Amino acid sequence: MSSKLSFAVMDTASVSKSYFTATSRVSSLMTELYEDLHDHKGNPILDLEEITNKINAYKRVVRTELDLIKSAVEQYDEDKNPRQTE
């Protein structure tokens, strides 16, 4: 009996869905960032340190979403070419 957990095989439709999910989130994040770069009156925030902190926070989240894209391809490759374990 194998101790490996059984998950759904990653097919091209699943990869595409992962792409959509990640890029959709990034798109939403960019809209959110645009709004976050302005104060409650709609004026642009001009404090460099505050802007830098906001950008860095968004970068972390965007990188996570982009990693989802890479992970989907890695999972697809792994499912198509499984390693033999003994």
Cα within 13 Å of Cα(10), Cβ side: 19
Tens digit of pLDDT for each residue in 57-70?
A: 999 999 999 999 99
Q: What is the pLDDT of residue 6?
A: 44
Question: Torsion-angle region of residue 84: left (phi > 0), alpha (psi -120 to 50) or beta?
Answer: beta
pLDDT tens per residue across span 13-60: 999 999 999 999 999 999 999 999 999 999 999 999 999 999 999 999
Lowest-confidence pick of 2-6, 30-34, 39-43, 82-86 = 2-6
